[in-house]
Amino acid sequence: MIADMHVHTRWSSDAEVPVCEQVERAIELGMESICITDHQDFDAPRFPPDYFTFLIDDRGDDAAISEYLADLAKVKETYADRIEVLAGIELGMQPYLCEKLTALASSFPFDFIIGSTHTFHKMDAEDKRHYDGMDIGLAVSQYFQEELENIKRFQSFDVAGHMDFVLRYGPGALEQFTYARYGDILDEILKALITTGRGIECNTSKFVAKNMTNPHRDIIKRYAELGGEIITFGSDSHVSARLGEGFKAVGEMVKDCGIQYYAVFRQHKPAFYPI
């Protein structure tokens, strides 16, 4: 089974599942590796006001991250003869945070870092107020522009997480999407990743609910056409029942797009396995 490289646990403010429960489910599914990637989003916009912090252990300071990694190290040792447990993190990118994120990335021994653009213009892409009175095509363009800026300014991550995140939540965004409409900016994003040795994630979080992946199939196809080779699979699971969701069907789609191997990162170095 394809390794799940985007998994959340009780260390994320929006999840309650113990690390061991996610690992046990991965073993049941036949995975040989799993990477825990809990949320660290500095200055995450909160909506409504009592929404999640999106910080490790609701604190996000160095002590919390050290405790998180110590917990993962114990789990790794416990399950060493059954599955490989890798230590990752999902960093929420905003342009003004790039220096802070770079310092964090270099301070801790992660195997894998996902760089995700959850916000644009300091509002969460999930917040529907973002789109009030705005042409959806313009909103999507603005999201991609900020994502490009994030990717260029913060380079200490391994793959771009769900890189068209705005298509999940912008009203009508998915329905009006074509690669041609945003091709110039998307090509810039993909080339910026490829030329710096970084990859993309195929995120299946909305595969069952919306029959979609992030990024869109056409983005994955274009990534392959441009010479991109590094792709990871992530369920973005916040509950164990959704671990590895859709990987078989989505794996076939990725192969049809021209990519035959998926990556597993150890100490930020990708190893490749046939899909």
| Residue 89 neighbours by CB under 8 Å, 6+ apart | 37, 38, 40, 56, 65, 108, 110, 112, 113, 114
At residue 51, the pLDDT reads 84
The 10s digit of each residue's pLDDT in 148-163 is: 999 999 999 999 999 9
Q: Alpha helix locations (H) across the chain?
A: 19-29, 62-78, 98-107, 136-153, 166-169, 173-176, 179-195, 207-210, 217-225, 247-256
At residue 35, the pLDDT reads 98
Work out the mean pLDDT of the chain and round it to a whole number. Answer: 97
Amino acid at 26: A
Task: Tell whether the model's pLDDT for residue 23 goes beyond 90.
Answer: yes
Q: Which helix (H) or strand (E) holds 243?
A: none
CB 229 within 8 A of CB 262: no
At residue 49, the pLDDT reads 65
CATH superfamily of 4-274: Metal-dependent hydrolases (3.20.20.140)
Indicate left, alpha or beta for 99 from its phi (over 0: left) and psi (-120 to 50: alpha).
Answer: alpha
- Backbone φ and ψ of 199, nearest 5°: -120, -165
The 10s digit of each residue's pLDDT in 204-255 is: 999 999 999 999 999 999 999 999 999 999 999 999 999 999 999 999 999 9
Amino acid at 19: V
Q: Alpha-carbon Rg of the chain, whole angstroms?
A: 17
CB 34 within 8 A of CB 265: no
At residue 228, the pLDDT reads 98
Structure tokens at 247: 């990987």
At residue 48, the pLDDT reads 78
CA geometry: angle 244, 74, 1, nearest 5 deg: 20
Domain ranges of the chain: 4-274
The 10s digit of each residue's pLDDT in 85-141 is: 999 999 999 999 999 999 999 999 999 999 999 999 999 999 988 899 999 999 999
Structure tokens at 115: 């760089």
Mean pLDDT of 196-200: 98
